[in-house]
Chain A
Amino acid sequence: MSAVAAKPQAGGAINPGAMAVGIVLLIILLGIAYVVSPGIGLMALIGVIIGGVLIGFGVHFVPVGGAPAAMGQAPGIATGVAMLAAGAGLAGLFGGAWAAEQGLEMAVVTGAIGGGMMMAITCMMVNFVYVFGMGIPAASGKVAKDPITGDTQAEYKSQGTEGHGLPFVSFVGGVIGGILGGAGGTLIYIELLELYKTTLPGVMKVTSAQAEPIAVSVAGIFAIALFLVNAVLTAYNITGTIEGPHDPKFKRWPRAIVASAVASALCGLVAILIVVM
């Protein structure tokens, strides 16, 4: 079947063979980490993979309408999937990094709330502009009723469009996406920070105090990089736009989880090898 003849599949389209290859790759990468650094390196890699998976899963919740949303032709936020998720996740990472001294749990939760706050404010302002700036109510194009509020959607769609604005379920999805992204980004940062704090003084032959600013910077750069890798990877899985957890495209998340885990493992391994080899 040619690419033109193939019908787009909104939901499933899970390829078990590719998933199996991905899981094998993941096990190989974990094995390499176990060989080169069985203790702290392996633990850091597991943390990075969990963080990457959280980001990849979280991006599916973020309601992104892209260019059609900018003309009120489709629901969602009028920007790119990866970039909006990155904005929320990095805002969370900022808060999480600040709370790093207070322990892993505190930092991850603080990062999660930071990402959720960014998305809550942004989603509210999107509806503010649609309603008070453009006189357009929110309407979903994918479901007849909002799964949370039960509000009917079809009659609030203006003629010739697929909907517009952010129905309540999309708002909630955005906040959940921000929470997961902020938590994932912060988890990656904390795991790499601990690794670098422990290993850098020996590698660079400096004191712990001298190594700390370098550890913070390198862990921060890798956390941002891993965030972008996972966000962009998931954007390919979503293919353009998604309304949130009620969108049929949301069902594609399993393959993004495997892809995010493999990509995070590969990138995380590089981040580990620079200090343990």
Chain B
Amino acid sequence: MVDIVFGIGITALTGALATIAGAAEDTESNIGSQGDPNSQVQLAPQMGFMHRIFNKAVAGEPPAYGLWCALGAGLAWAFMAMYPNPVLAIVLGSVLAVIVQGVYATTAYLGRTASLAKFGQPVYVDILKSMTTVTMAHAFIAIFGTVALCQLINGALEHPFPLPLLGLIWGVTLGAAGSATGNPYYGKERQYQNQKFGAGVPISASGNIVRYAEAGERNSLDNGWFTAKIGGAASGLCFGLIVFLELWRTILFEKSFDGWGAVIVGILVILIFTIIDRYIEVWARKNYGPYSEIKEASS
């Protein structure tokens, strides 16, 4: 078993890498418009609202990132077998995985947008040129962070799974955490900025996404800029907490209580997050109040 201080240091580093990866993943998926909110980007032209938003729902974020991180980790693993330089291997693996992501993004945008031709939605070549590279840059950060933390888990913390398998596992988890946390903020708060704050989007408003910016038409870079402030940060925090706490409880408490220490600490962590969640729920009910109070008073 690795030295405990060394283990804590690696745990902190992996937590930091996961936080950066989570934030980059959500921002990438928002600039590329991947995940559930993209249903509105696809729907808008069908409702008569043409737009200049990128449209690349390659797949759900978890399988997409599972693929890209497994690819990056697999290639890095192969490079490490040839040359003993992990940093260079991870960079090269991530670059090659990002090229695949770029190919998927390009074909997804062209294919999905071309399918809307009958509704009059044009394919904007300038959007393709300017957005694709930005999503690729963010995807590189997300993939590099995830592959690097997998290498630390495998190489330094001696997890039994090989690097590509860890890449798949943490890639899927990265996508799950990023889409769960970040999607509502992009889907409701940014795409439907024209709707009331503090309420869900009425189903009747579906497809009427905001298409104009302060100057000119809104594009996906504006969306990335907006969502990075809360959705991206929250996604990073979510994935960072998952990775950090999973490793932390194992490294520090694996030997305690006849091996049950990590389990007990895990249960305590779940209880703490349950209490925090309940506090948030009650706080919202008290401070925001019910929606139907006014209606009840007038009736």
Interface residues of A (CB under 8 A from B): 66-73, 77-80, 83-84, 86-88, 90-91, 93-95, 97-100, 102, 106, 109-110, 113-114, 116-118, 120-138, 149, 151, 154-168, 171-172, 175, 213, 216-217, 220-221, 224
Contacts and interface: CB of A to CB of B under 8 A. Distances in A.
A70 B187 CA distance: 5
Given A156-B290, A167-B281, A87 B172 contact: yes
A198 B283 CA distance: 55
B291 interface: yes
Nearest to A179: B270
Contact of A79 (B60, B198, B242): B60
B288 to A, nearest CB: 5
- The residue among B162, B204, B246 with the most chain A CB atoms within 10 A of its own CB is B246
A77 to B, nearest CB: 5
Contacts of B267: 113
Contacts of B180: 77-79, 84, 122, 125-126
Given A116-B270, A120-B269, 18 more contacts: A67-B36, A69-B36, A70-B36, A70-B188, A72-B184, A78-B36, A83-B62, A84-B62, A88-B176, A121-B177, A121-B238, A125-B234, A126-B184, A133-B185, A136-B188, A168-B281, A171-B277, A213-B162
Nearest to B201: A71
Given A106-B259, A221-B165, A94 B181 contact: no
B161 A97 contact: yes
Interface string B231-250: 10011011001100110011
Contacts of A84: 62, 176, 180
A74 B31 CA distance: 24
A87 B230 contact: no
Given A91-B169, A120-B274, A134-B185, A129 B241 contact: no
Contacts of A164: 200
A69 B201 CA distance: 10
Interface of B: 35-37, 39-40, 60-63, 159-162, 165-166, 168-170, 172-173, 175-177, 179-189, 191-192, 196-206, 230-231, 234-235, 237-238, 241-242, 245-246, 249-250, 254, 259-260, 262-263, 266-267, 269-270, 273-274, 276-278, 280-281, 283-285, 288, 290-293, 296
A126 B169 CA distance: 21
B258 to A, nearest CB: 10
Given A95-B250, A129-B231, A216-B162, A117 B37 contact: no
Given A84-B62, A135-B288, A99 B242 contact: no
Given A70-B35, A79-B36, A133 B230 contact: yes
Nearest to B281: A138
A117 B242 contact: yes
Given A79-B36, A113-B263, A118-B242, A217 B200 contact: no
Given A67-B37, A70-B186, A110-B263, A160 B202 contact: yes
A133 B234 contact: yes
Contacts of A175: 270, 274
A213 to B, nearest CB: 7
Contact of A72 (B201, B259, B285, B296): B201
A100 B203 contact: no
Contact of A123 (B184, B277, B293): B277
A78 B180 CA distance: 5
A86 B201 contact: no
A102 B254 CA distance: 10
A84 B176 CA distance: 5
3 pairs of A and B residues whose beta carbons are closest in the complex: A87-B176, A160-B202, A72-B200
Given A122-B181, A131-B283, A72 B292 contact: no
Contacts of B176: 79, 83-84, 86-88, 118, 122
Given A87-B173, A155-B290, A94 B162 contact: no
B66 to A, nearest CB: 8
A124 B161 CA distance: 29
Contacts of B278: 149, 168, 171
Contact of B202 (A83, A132, A136, A159): A159
B194 to A, nearest CB: 13
A68 B201 CA distance: 9
15 contacts: A71-B40, A72-B200, A79-B183, A91-B246, A99-B254, A106-B263, A116-B270, A120-B269, A124-B273, A129-B184, A133-B234, A137-B284, A159-B199, A160-B201, A163-B200
B260 A106 contact: yes
Nearest to A216: B160
